[in-house]
Amino acid sequence: MFQPIDWRNVQFGDGFLGERVRVNREATIPAVWRHTKATGRADAFKLAWREGAEPRPHQFWDSDVAKWIEAAAYDLAIQPNPETEAVIDGLVDDMAAAQMPDGYLNSFFQQVCPDQRWKNLRDMHELYCAGHLMEAAVAYFQGTGKRAFLEVMCRYADCIERTFGTGEGQLPGYPGHEEIELALVKLHAATGEERYRRLAAYFVNQRGQQPNYFAEEAKRRGEKPRDTYENAQAHVPAREQATAEGHSVRACYFYAGMADVARIENDQALAGACRKIWRNITRRRMYVTGGVGSSFQGERFTVDYDLPNETSYAETCAQIALVFFASRMLRLEAKAEYADVMELALYNSVLSGVSLDGERIFYVNPHAYFPAGYRFDPRGPRLVGVRPEWHGCACCPSNLARLFASLGGYLYGVGGDRLYLHLYASSSAECVWAGADCRFSVATDYPFGGAIRVRLDQVPPASAKLCLRLPGWARNYKVLVNGGEVCGKLVEGYLTLERVWRAGDEVELSLPMPVEQIEAHPAVRHDVGRVALKRGPLVYCFEAADNGPDLNQLVLAPSPEFHLVQTEIAGLPVPVILAPGEREDAAAWDGELYRPLGWSRTHPVQLTAIPYFMWANRGDGEMLLWLRRA
């Protein structure tokens, strides 16, 4: 196990991720706040709502406010902003004034239905909102040193700890929408309070026990219990779960919480369940982009190999939750496979959720899109090919904002005499490595290029290990130390270089990035006879803006020769892939719907593929990820 290098000790440079973090700071966080304020969410804690007034508070609102505070708090530690800090202090004052004497705090229940407190954990998100508020309070304390928000949330956590459990007079319940498990682990780390660690473990271990709490709760409300509770991951206890089930955001939050509890409790049985679920997700239920949650119906995982493209859901929050799960598994055991998936999701299915200017957000991330096509959404029609500025269910915008604001905490880790580099980005960091204060920097054009240079500016006095992740996509590599080629030892996907380091030492890692054709498992019926293009960590797709309409009429040539061309999309320089292909001549069908095989005609075309995360930045046009092959 290792500790991530604190996000406050990591500074991004001018590279790709640094630019995304800058856009997040300058565009996404302010945009989220504007909408949070305009929709009434920001004023909910004033408790000024009266029956019949609009907007009516919603059960999710507290979480939306909390995630924005968390995002802003991460940023305040890197770039102080007195105006933003004053806004948050005002929100904290509202919360402190609204908090009930026993510590309870929820703007929806306190105003709209005060007699329903803790009556419907399955659906009503009380504990979910509490968890997000706790995470925000920890981030604000870490970012500014101010304790007022933290103290408010400790009082709320104490209230929850008194309420839930298996003791006399307690409710043996747990959240319908998981999140508080992660938050309590953070709260424990920030305060040292053991009760919060035990409460996190309780919520993980109690889930799915019999009699099922959600069924008993429904009976008390006079409702008929549901037949299954897979959608809330409450169908069986955590240790018996082996497949990813139900609502994909809830699920991945829960799995991340399981991994956190397994680590802090040294619970090997729980860790084993995490590994089983991880294998099921990454080997049978994950898109090539790292997307998860394939079904519109229930926003959920379905069955093995069911990965439709045009109707894929892949909610942005679910991809973020998968990053959380991967990062927790990585802390549990330093294996590159976890960082590989973290990277895959981050560069593809997470980044696709936000426009390049940072102002617009996808809720749904399809893997094929046709504007005139039929798209089923049980909650009604929505724009998919053009990212909206805001959503009625606004979980994704603030979630994206907080992830990118905290991104520095995902890059590096230290454990004893080992310094791990998980993700490659131009940056500098300070840490304690092998018991000594150290500094290092990374320069790279990743993810568009595979040249990575690490400079060690302050090093341990004794021998220490530098562990460089070799991505799973890398077919070969070359590593130099001060210009001389070295071998190193490969341990769980990390190239480990051990030596007595000197200040000024430079390590150069070269990862060739050829274009590869990727095929899916034959059980993925949606992709049979098709290929996806991948270069390094980036999955590519085809847009009508480059290739014209009717993308399914395109066929990739056999044994194609790929060429890279530098261009700009929405002002961002990017290498696009050019490849030879064919386009079927639809006009030659003369109005026929069917005819014998072999009568069709094609003509040669040049195909252009762009990184998947960049699609839908040039208007509402077709997109296709899996292309027919000759």
Instruction: Residue 439: count other Cβ atoms within 10 Å of its Cβ.
Output: 16
Phi, psi of 242 (to 5 degrees): -130, -10
In sequence order, which residues have a C-beta less than 8 Å from that of residue 521 and are 6 or more positions away? 305
Cα dihedral 183, 292, 523, 552, rounded to 10, equals -170
- Residue 566's DSSP bridge partners are 575
What 8-state DSSP symbol labels residue 559? S
Give the span between the Cα atoms of 588 and 565, in whole angstroms: 33
**For this structure, is 299 an active site residue?**
yes
HEC secondary structure over 140-160: HHHHHCCCHHHHHHHHHHHHH
H-helix or E-strand spanning residue 342: helix 336-344
Give the span between the Cα atoms of 630 and 623, in whole angstroms: 20
Give the span between the Cα atoms of 153 and 150, in whole angstroms: 5
**For this structure, is 178 an active site residue?**
no
Task: Give helix 29-38 / helix 395-405 axis angle, nearest 10°.
Answer: 150
Q: Which two tokens stand for residue 457?
A: 């500016």
What one-letter code names the amino acid at 282? T
Cis upstream peptide for 211 (omega within 30°)? yes
Cis upstream peptide for 55 (omega within 30°)? yes
Instruction: Residue 317: count other Cβ atoms within 10 Å of its Cβ.
Output: 26
Q: Which of 299, 343, 582, 622 is catalytic?
A: 299
Q: Which two tokens stand for residue 325?
A: 């799960």
Helices vs. strands in the chain: H and E counts, helices first: 17, 23
Q: Which two tokens stand for residue 592?
A: 């026929």
Q: Are strands 515-518 and 427-433 parallel, antiparallel or unpaired?
A: unpaired
Give the span between the Cα atoms of 43 and 55, in whole angstroms: 11
- Give me the residue label for tokens 């991004």: 12
Phi, psi of 415 (to 5 degrees): -150, 105
Per the document, the length of the chain is 630
b/e code 386-407 from CB counts within 10 Å (16+ = b): ebeebbeebbbbbbbbbbbbbb
Asked if residues 123 and 177 have their Cβ atoms less than 8 Å apart, the reply is: no
Give the span between the Cα atoms of 452 and 449, in whole angstroms: 9
**Residue 357: alpha-carbon gap to chain centroid:** 19
Instruction: Residue 298: count other Cβ atoms within 10 Å of its Cβ.
Output: 15
Helix (H, G, I), strand (E, B) or coil at 30: helix
For 82: left if phi > 0, alpha if psi spans -120 to 50, otherwise beta; the answer is: alpha
Q: Which of 274, 317, 395, 541 is catalytic?
A: 395
Cis upstream peptide for 447 (omega within 30°)? yes
Asked if residues 392 and 41 have their Cβ atoms less than 8 Å apart, the reply is: no
Enumerate the active-site residues: 299, 395
